[in-house]
Amino acid sequence: MKTALVTGASSGIGAAIAQVLASTHEVWLGGRKIPEGLPGRPWPVDLRDLDALEEKTADIPELDVLVHSAGVVQLGSLSQTSVQTWRDTFELNVIAVAELTRILLPRLRARNGHVILINSGAGLRVNPNWGSYGASKYALRAYADALRAEEPDIRVTSVFPGRTDTQMQRGVRAAEQGDYEPEKYLKPDTVAQAVLNAITMPADAHPTEVVIRPRGAVG
């Protein structure tokens, strides 16, 4: 059976991806608190503890799929965004991704593996008050492009979902002082299905970018 590591598997999109991969992969579940009943092997780790990642990954013998779904967002105008917010956002959304991938590259190369990076609509266009998060997602997109160019034997896919019905989205809508309208958002399972489609695409194809928007959404 193939092996997959999914970060951010505690909830939302990450948990949905782990669920959909479980029938075909041994899934390592990256997250601080894994939902009861989610199939896979818990991999509790603080991704911001970069010095510990080498040791934490030592037990993963081989790797076919690496899904980066963990992320953080804090909204606010640029004039009010603190240095600490910039640091926290980039540390998890970009630097931890780069370091975890670097450590696992030998295992991914050996299996002609696939790296999936869950980006955001903010990685394509940034609205007011989304500066630090959008900048981190643009950086993540650039990282994916560079990884794809440098590692021709590994497939690298950036996924850009629109608003999705998750706890993170609830926090976003609260910060925006707007109503939470899940019927207007993507379901986590829908994003997970798009990820599965990319992973199971025939080997002669390289799905580089997948953009998903809720039906009826503009832009």
Amino acid identity for residue 140 in this structure: L
Burial-class residue 65 by CB neighbours within 10 Å (0-12, 13-18, 19+): buried
Cα-only R_g, the chain: 17
> Maximum CA pair distance of the chain?
50
Which of the residues 133, 138, 143, 185 is marked catalytic? 133
Q: Rounded distance, CA 156 to CA 45, Å?
A: 23
* 133 in active site: yes
In our burial notation (b when 16+ CB lie closer than 10 A, e otherwise), range 173-200 reads: beeeeeeeeeeebbebbbbbebbbebbe
Q: Tell me how far CA of residue 81 lies from CA of 19, 132, 174, in angstroms.
A: 36, 8, 17
Query: Could you list the active site residues?
Result: 133
